[in-house]
Structure 1
Amino acid sequence: MAGRMREKDWSQTLLGPVKQWPQSLRTAVSVMLAAPEPALIYWGRELVVLYNDSARFMLGNKHPEGLGVSFKVVFQESWTILGPLLEGVLDTGEAVHHENLLVPLVRFGFLEDCYFTFAFIPTRDDDAEVGGIFIIVTDTTAQVLGARRLALVRELSLRTALSETVEGVFRAAEDVLGQSTADVPFCLLYELRAERARLVVHTGLAQAPTPGDDLAEGRAWPLAEVARSRHEQLIEQLPEGFATLLGGAAGAQPPTRALALSLSDAAEQESRLVLVVGLNPRIALGDDTRSFLRLLARQFATSIESTRALEEKTRRAAQLAALDRQKTQFFANVSHELRTPLTLMLGPLEDALTDLREPLASSQHQRVALVQRGAVRLLKLVNQLLEFTRLETGRAGARFQPVDLARLTQELAGHFESAAHRAGLTLSVDCPSLGEPFWVDPEAWERIVFNLLSNAFKFTLEGGLTVRLRLEADAGVLSVRDTGSGIPLEAQPRLFQRFYRVEGAQGRSFEGSGIGLSLVQELTKLHGGEVGVWSRPGEGSEFTVRIPRGHHHLPADRLASGSSTVARDAFQRDSFVQEVEGWIPAVPGPRPLPPVSPALAPEARPPSARDGRILVVDDNADLRAYLKSVLEPHFEVETAEDGQAALESLRHRVPDVVVSDVMMPRLGGFGLLRALRSDPALRATPLILLSARAGEEASVEGLEAGADDYLVKPFSGRELLARVQTQLTMYRLRGEAALQLGRELALKEAVQARDDFLSVASHELKTPLTGLKLHLEMLERMLPAPVRAQVSERLSNTRKQAQRISALVESLLDVSQVASGRLQLHHESTDVMALVADCLAQGREELERAGCTLTFEARGPLHAQVDPVRLEQLVRNLLSNAARYSAERPVELQLGEAGTHLRLAVVDHGMGVRSEDRERIFGRFERAVSARRFGGLGLGLWVARQVVEAHGGSIAVTDTPGGGATFTVLLPRRAE
C-alpha cells in the first residue's frame, strides 16, 4: 500500500497533492502503514478513506478504487450504522470502542453481514483540531457466527434430548430452529419411505404447507437424489412461488438459495431423512457455513436416531413383558401336562422298588432307584415352576390359618437332621414358643423352610446350620444361618431374582434352576412379609423371613375359619430331603470345558499391520491349526505345543505377541506368563490367554497375573484378530514411548554435562584472564612514551578484547550459578538513578561503536532495596542487546516508578522480535536471529530474566511503535 499511495495522483482526490497535506496527516499515514494490525484513516469531514495492506479486507472488490474516496461513497451501505459514530468522534474528539458490531458491507457483489471490533481514535491536525479518525479494526465475523451457531446446535441437542418420542424431537426442533432465522431462514425435514416423501418439520414459513401439494410431498426438491447419494446438494433457485410462503422478520432479505443434506447413514434404509435448509443471502456460503449445516444435520440425525432407539427399547420392553406373561402361562401349562406322565412313571417305579413278592435283582434295583430319584427331582422342579406361575398370575390359592409356628418350623427342620449328620454338619434348631398363633399357609411355610434349608445345605461344606425363630414387636422372624462359602456383595441384590445364580459359587452341586430363593420371596410376599440376606464371603450367610402378626394384612376371603389340620404333601417333603441326601457323596468339581465352535470363521478384512510375528501356544493340534489359519493371512505365525516349547522358541526369537492356552502339559499358560514376566528380555512381550473358564473371576485372575488380555472359548476369528491387533499396536506404542524417554534422559544428561563444563571452564578462565589484564597494565606503564604512543591503539584494542572476554566469562559464571541454584542477592538501599547513570557512562562507548544515539529519561530521585551489582548487570545486558540489534538507530532508556515498583524500559528501533519468539529469547543460548549475523552467546537476556525474577519482578518484551522492541522491567522497591 505504501507504493500504491506514492504512485497515486492525490491532486485528483479530496485531499489534494501530498505536499499540501498537513504534517499531522503525513505522520498518521506513516504510522498506519507501519502498523502490523489492520488500520484505516478517515480524514476530514468528508472522511476520505486511507488504509494499510492489512485492512484491505474491509473494501473487498472496492480496492484499490476506494483509496482516497469519501467514506460515504465507499461504504454507503453502512453509513446508517457507522456514520453517526464517526461524526460523533469528529464533533467530540473522544475515542470510541465497539466490540462485535454488526456492519452490512458490499465487498464481493452482495450485501453481507459482517462483525467488527473497532477503535475510533481522533487524530489532531496541525491546528490541534480533530482532523480525522484513526481506526484499528478486527474482523470478528467468524467468531460471532461460530459462537452463535454452536449455541444453536447445543440448544438443539439439549431440547431434543428431553423428548421421548421422535415426534417430540420434531416439535422441539421446530421450536429451536424457528427462533434462529439468522442462521436458518427456513428449514424443511422430509421423511422418505418407498420413494414417497412426507414433511415432518418446517420452520420459517408464514403458513403451513397444504397436504398433498408439491411442498408437502417434497416434489419441489431433489430429495430422492440426495437420499440416494447421501451428498449435499446446493439448490441455486428456490421453487416458483416459494417466496410467498416465507415468513421472517419485516424487512429481512428473503433467501434465494437452499442446501439439501441427507440425515441417513445408508441409502438402503427403510426410512430416510433429507433436510432442506434456507441460506441467509447476507452470509457467504463458504466452508464455515457448510461445516455448520453439516454439524446441524448430524446433530439432528443423532437426536432422531437416539430417540428411535429409545422408542424401540420401550417397544421391546413391552414385547418382553408380553413374552414373559406368555412364558409364565407356558410354564403353567407345561407343568400341568408334565405332572400326569410323571405320576404314571413314579407310581410303577415305586411299586417295583417296594414289591416284595417279585423283588428286583440288585443291579436292576439300583438302576430303577436311579431313575426314580431323577423322576422325583424332575417332579420337584415341575412343582416349583407351577407354584411360581400361580404366584405370578395371582392364582396361588393360599389358605391362611392360625398355627403354632415354632412347632411347625421345628418339625420341618427335623427332616434334615439325618442328612446333616451324614454330611458332618451340625444342625441347631432354636424355635421357642412365640406365645401366640401366626396366620400362615402351612404348605407355603413348608416350602419357605425347605428351600432355605436346602440352599444353606448346598453351599455349606463344613461347620453347621442354625434355624432360629423369634418374636419381634410386630412380626415373627425366621432366620437360617450357615457357615458356607458366602455370597459376594455385588451379587446379593440379585439373589431373589428368577433364575439368577451366583457365578463361581462353591457348593456341593452345580445343579439348580435358580428359582428357589425367588419362590421364597414370592411366598413371603403372599403373607405380607419380606425377606432379607446378610452374607460375607468365607464366613457364611443368613437369610431372614419376616411375617407380620395378626391377619388384618391378609385377604379376608383367604382366611380359614379356625385352626385345622391340613394334610401336607409328603411327596414334596421327601423330594427336598432326597435331593439334599443326594449331594452328600458328591464331590464338587469344575465344569467341563465348552468346545470351540468349528463354524467360527476369521474376519475377511485384514488388520492394518501385516508385519507382526505371533507365537501360538496350545497342546490341542486341531485348535493350534485353527488359530494359525485365522492369524496367518495377516501375520507371520509360529506355533508351539506347550509352554515349555514356547519358552525355548522365545529365547531364540522374540515375537510381537504370544497367544497361549491356559491348560497345557509340562508348562501351562500361567506358568509361561510367570516365566515371561520374570525374564528382563521377555518381560514386555504381550501375552493373550485363552481359556474355557468363563466369568469375571477367571478374567480377573488372568489379568492380575500379568496377562495383557484374556479371551474365553468359544470365540470368533474376528474377535481374536481384533485382540491380537490391539496388543500389537500397544506393544509398538510402548516401544516408541520408551525410545522417546531414553532420548529425553540423554538430553537431560547432556545439558547437565554442559552446565558442569561451563562452571569449571569459567573458573579456570578467570585466573589467566586476570593475569592478562595485569600484564597489559604493567606493559603500558613500562613502555617509553614514544613507543607507548606508537602502540597505544593496539594496546587499547587488546584491553577492550580482554574486557569482552571477561564479560563473557562472567556470563558463563552466572549461567553456572543459576543452573545450580547458587545465585544469591545482596539487597541494600541503592540510589537507582545514580547506578543507572554509571551504567550508561560505561556502556555509552559500545552504543556509540554501534552507531546508536542514547536518550535517558528519568524521574528522580529513586531509591530501592536491590542488589546493586546484579542491577548493574541487568542494565548492561539490556543496553548491550539494544546496541547489537539496533545498529545506527536510536536507543532510549526510561526509568521511573509504577506504583510500588521500579519501572525500567530499554526502547530500541531495530529489527524487533516476532510474537512467537518473545518467550523463547529469554532461554539459555537462544536468539531471535542467527548468531552468525549478530554474534553473542545468547545468554544476556536469560541472565537478565533470572536476575529480575530473583528480585521478585517481571520482564517482558513488546513492539516499539514504528518498529523495534521495548524491554520493560518491573522490580519491587522493597525486598520481599
Structure 2
Amino acid sequence: MPEFLQGGGEMGQRIREFNWSKTSLGPVETWPHSLRTCIRIMLDSRQPIWIGWGKDLIKFYNDPYKTIVGGKHPWALGRPASEVWKDIWTDIEPMLHQVMHDGRGTYVESQLLIMERYGYPEETYYTFSYTPIPDDEGKTAGMFCANTEDTDRITSERQLRTLTQLGKTLTDSKTGAEIIEKTISTLQGNPHDFPFALFRQIHHHKAILKGHTDFGDSRKLLPDEIDLESDNPLAAAIKTALGTGLPHMFETLKTHVGALPAGAWHVSPDKAIVLPIVLTGKQDAYGVMVVGINPFRPADEKYISFFSLVADLIATSFADVFAYEEERKRAEALAEIDKAKTAFFTNISHEFRTPLTLMLGSLEEIMEHKKKEEDQAVAIETTHRNALRLLRLVNNLLDFSRIEAGKVKASFSPTPISAFTAELASNFEQLIENAGLDFEIKIDQVTQPVYVDKEMWEKIVLNLLSNAFKFTMQGSIAILLHADDTNLTMEVRDTGLGIPDEELPKMFQRFHRVHNVSGRTYEGTGIGLSLVSELIDLHGGDISVTSKLGKGSSFIVTIPVGKEHLPYSQIAEYDTTYSATHADVFIDEAENLFNNDQVDSKDSERTYNPALPFILIVDDNADMRRHLTTLLQSEYNIVTAKNGSEALSKIKAQPFSLILSDIMMPVMDGTELVKAVKNNEQTANTPIILLSARAGEEAKIEGYNTGADDYLVKPFSAKELKARVRSQINLATKRLTALKKIEESEAYFRRLADNAPVTIWITEENGYCSYLSKSWYETTGQEKEEALGFGWLQATHPEDIERTTAIFADANTRQTFFHALYRLRQKDGTYRWSIDRGMPRFDDTGKYLGIIGAVVDVHEQRMAELALEESQEMQRLAVESGVIGTWGCDLTTEIVEMSETTRDIFGFSTLLVTLTDVINGIADYDQEKTRKAIEAAIRHPKGTYQTEYDVVNGTDGIIRSVIANGKIFLDKDGVPVKFFGTCLDVTKQKRTNEYLEAEVKTRTAE
C-alpha cells in the first residue's frame, strides 16, 4: 500500500479499495507526485476537503466532507464533479473553469447553494476556495477545495435578526392594529423564512383578515372573512390549530389555492404553518398567523420552534397592548383626579400665599414703628382684609370637604324666598352702580312654598353675583326670580366678557378656571361655582349656564318647590331666623376689585426723581401693588399695571430698569409678559423678577425657563425683595455696559471692513449673510436688501451659482473652512474672477456662530492661469498625438527619462538610457555641436537650449532630423541639476525642402 494512502479513516479505506484503473486517473502507481501529496494532506485534515483531478475533475474527499455530500456518499467517490454536483453545477462551473483553464484560484464566503443531497432541494451556505494543483510538469491538472459549512450560522443569524427586530419594533406598540402592521412589515423583511404571511383575528367563528404581506395577484388566501364552519381548506387548518392551541401544518397548498408568493425564492411554497396567537391567561386564541414555509428547508422541529417564538412575541405584544389599554383607562381616571388635585393646589397656593404675603408685609411695616399713623392704618386695614379673605377661603374649603364627605347637615325650612333673595342682592346695588354698571333686581312674589337652607342659599346668590361683577366691566348685571307650580327659577345674567364655548361644559368642575380672561382679577380657587353646584344639588336642584363670548353670560338655578324631594330628617317646618353673615366678606372683596384702578391712578399724580431707576410693578391684586410700591418707592420710581397687557402698553411708553410681575393674572399672565418682553429686541435686556405662589425647585426651573431673570416665592420679606431687585438692576447695568462695548467694537470692525480693499462678509449659524462690507455694494451694484440673506449668490455667474452654493452649504453644515473661486458680476454687468475664503466662528462655549470671510479680485491672475492651462493642454495634445517627444535628464546621474515618441526617434530598445547614450545616438558630425549647445545652456542666464541635429536610429539605422529645445534647472546653490526638453522630428519637412531646392537648381540650370 502506498505510504500516502495510509490512515484517513473511512475515506482512506475507500480510496485504497477503489479500482482507480477503471477511471481516467489510471492505477495509483501512475499518479503524479503532486496529487499524492494533496491526497495525503486531505486525508490528514479535519476540515471538509475534496480534490478534483483531470479534465473530468474526478472526485476525492475526506471523512469530514461526508456531511456535505450527504446522501450521495459513498457513490460520489471517483465520479466526475459535474455528475456529483449537477444540481449546483451552474453555480460552481465558472469558478472551476477559472481554476483549470486560467490557473487562478477562487474564494467565496457564505455562498448560497441549493443542493439535492437527500432527494429534495435544500438551502445551504458554504465558504470555500478552489486552488489549482499542478502536475509534475507544472501544468494545472486538478484543484483542491477546502470547505466550511455556514448553513446553520446564516439561517440562525437571519432568524435571530427577525426575532430581535420584531421584539424591538413591537415594544412601543399602542394598539392591536399597530402590532399587526409592524409584524407584517418585519416578516416581509425576511422573505427567505417568510415567503408570505397573513394575520386573521378570530371573532364569532370567523377569521377576519387584518393584515398580510404582498401577495401580488395571488388572492385566494385573502378573502376578508373565512367562516370557520365552511368547507374552505384554510378554515379546517385554522380550526385544528385553534382546537389544539399548537402550530398546524397546512399541506399541498398549490393543490388547494394554486401558486402563492415565493418570497426570496424562485419556487413558491407548498406548505404553510398556522400559528394560533393565544394571550397569556386566555383560553381562546385572539387570532392566527398563517405563514408560508421556506420551500428549501425541511419543516423540522427547529424551524417550527422558530415560528412558535414569533407567535409568542406577537401574543405577548397583544397582551401588553391590551393591558396597557386597561392601564391607560385607569390612568386617565387617575389623571383626572390628579389634574383636579394639581389645579386645586396651584390655585389654593396662590390664594393662600398672596394674602399671607400682604399680612406679613403689613405687620412687618407696623413692627418697624417708623410709619405714620395713616400708613399704619392702611397696613392694618390690608391685614384685616386679607385675613377675612383667608377665612372665606378656609370656610369654602371646609364646606367643600364636608359636602364630599357627606357630613353636611342642611336644615331646609320654608323661606320667604323673594324677600330673602332681594335682601341678599341689594348688598351689591351700591357697589355695582359705583362701578358704572346698571343693576336690575327683578324678583317676582313667589307664593309657592319653597324650602331652602338659608346659609346655603346665601352662598349661592352671593357667589353668582360676585362672579358676575368680577367679569363685567361695562353694561349691566341682573338677578331674576320667579316660580311656577313645579320649580323655583333664579337667573343671574350679565353683559360681561362671556365664556368660550369649549369652556362651558367645565364651568362647574371642581377647581376649574377659565384662563386668560380680562376680568377684574385672576384670583380665585376654582371652588366657587363647583361649590354652588354642590349646594344646589343638595336642594335637589340644577344649575346651567349659557354664554356668548364678548356678549355676556346667564347662570340659571332651578330647584323644586315644596319639600317632597328633600330628606325628611333635614326639614324644619318653621321659618328659622337667619341674618346674612357672609355678605360683608363678598362685598369687601368685590369693592377691593373695583378700587383696583384707583391705586394705579396715583401713577399719574406721582412726581418722579429722574436720577432714580424706574420699576414697573405688575399684579392684579391692588393690595399687592400697594404693598410692593410702599416697599420700593423710597429707592426707585414706581409705575404699576394690573396685567401683562397693560404692562406692555406702559413699557412702550417708557423704558424700565426692572419689571416685577406676578405670574397668575387676567388678560395676559406673567409668563406671556416675559415672552413678549424678551422677544422684543428693544426690551430683551430688561430684567424681570417673577412673583409666584408656587414653591419648590420644579416651579423655580419653570420660572427661569420662561426667560425670567429671577423668581421670588410668596411670602417673602421686604429685605429679600429689595436685595433681589437691587441685584438684578446692578447686573442689568453691567450687562448694558458690556453690550455697549460690544456694539462699539462691532462698529469699529465695520469701519475697518468698509475701508478694506477687499470685501468682508459674515454669516449666521443658518447660513444667512448678515453683513457685507461697503466694497461689495460698490463692486456689484447690489443694494443691502438684495444682497443680504442669500441674495449675494445672485451676483455670481449663472454657471457658478450651483457649485458655489453647494460649497458654501457644505462648509456651513460641517462648520469648517470655506473656499470658492467664482466669477462675480460687476456694476457694469461684466464678470471678474474672485476668490472667496472664510473660516468658522465659535463663541467662548464652542457654539457655532457662522462664518466670516473675505472676497478678493484675482481676475488678471486667473486669466493668466487659464491661458497657461490652454497652452499646456495644446502641448499635451501635441505630445499625445506623437508629434513632439519629451525628455528629462538628471545631471547628477546623467540618467535620461523620455517619452515613447523620443524613444522611437532614437530607436532605443533598453529602458535605461544615459546622456552619453543620447549623444552617441546623434550623427557623428552633429555630436560636437550638440555638446557645445548643452554647455552654452548651462552658462546661459535663462538656461535655455535649442539646436538641430541628425539622429541615427538605433533600430533601423535610418537618419532622422530633429529640432531640440530645452531648459536647465539649478538647485538653491546655482548648481545645474535637471535638464528638460522636447524634440521634434522634422525629417519629412527637411527632405521636402531639400527636394524643392534641388528642383529649383535643376530648372535654373536648364
TM interval, short-chain normalised: 0.3 to 0.5
Larger radius of gyration: 2
| TM-score, scaled to structure 2 | 0.36
